[in-house]
Amino acid sequence: MNENNNPDHSLIAEYVRRRLFCSFYVFYSCNSVPPENAANLRNPKKRTRLKNTERHVSARTTETGKFKYSATLLSDINFSHLRWSRAVKNISDDCHRAWIYYCYADRLDFDFQILICRRIWSEFNSTLFTQQKKIRTTTLELLKKLVFLAVQNAVYKIKTDRDYYSSKTLARLAKKSISGWSENYNSHWNQLLKICYKLDYEALINVSNQKRTQNN
């Protein structure tokens, strides 16, 4: 808490991040398919005898190929994970939702990548305008090609706390010398990363707000 007894949003964002990793990896790894695809599967009922009794109950199961899981009841923890998943789906900002799915659920939909890159590039240009910085057209064209690499690097660092691309690798990909990269491009690269982390933070807070709305 801060001095005004308001929640520390950075702590909230980190809490939501941990819950989303848990929801998308732990919950879905325990089931053969995610809930949103369950409607497309066969759902036969199966009678099961209760242990040490003569009573039978009917439980609906979901089958897909060799996989099967019971859809009778959800444990408290799985129910909690579904609430987080629902909060993500209810986000009104398409780019925030795309970021959450891409970063935390490993959903590599091309449309998600396009939404994210367009947002990052738009904010980058807005920053240049605000700071009244002028960049050569050729430099802008190169930086535009690096946007998705910045997204990949940011996501990797969020997950591992390590950079995916080194300065040496980026210089090679940009076909620049290491000194040329450091002098002319590295600061812009860091700005792209900063915008990615800002998008991550905003998306996490958006999920938190949606989750709070569910609880009211």
Indicate whether this model's pTM tops 0.85: no
Q: Which residues pair with 63 in a beta bridge?
A: 42, 68
CA distance 190 to 188: 5
The model's pLDDT over 128-176, given as tens digits with 9 standing for 90+, comes to 988 888 888 999 999 999 999 999 999 999 999 999 999 999 999 999 9
Indicate the burial class of 81 (C-beta count within 10 angstroms; 0-12, 13-18, 19 or more): buried
Name the one residue in this structure whose structure tokens are 């920053």: 127
CA distance 145 to 174: 9
**DSSP codes of every residue in 67-90:** EEEE-S---HHHHHHHHHHHHHHT
CA distance 3 to 101: 34
The model's pLDDT over 104-131, given as tens digits with 9 standing for 90+, comes to 999 999 999 999 999 999 999 999 988 8
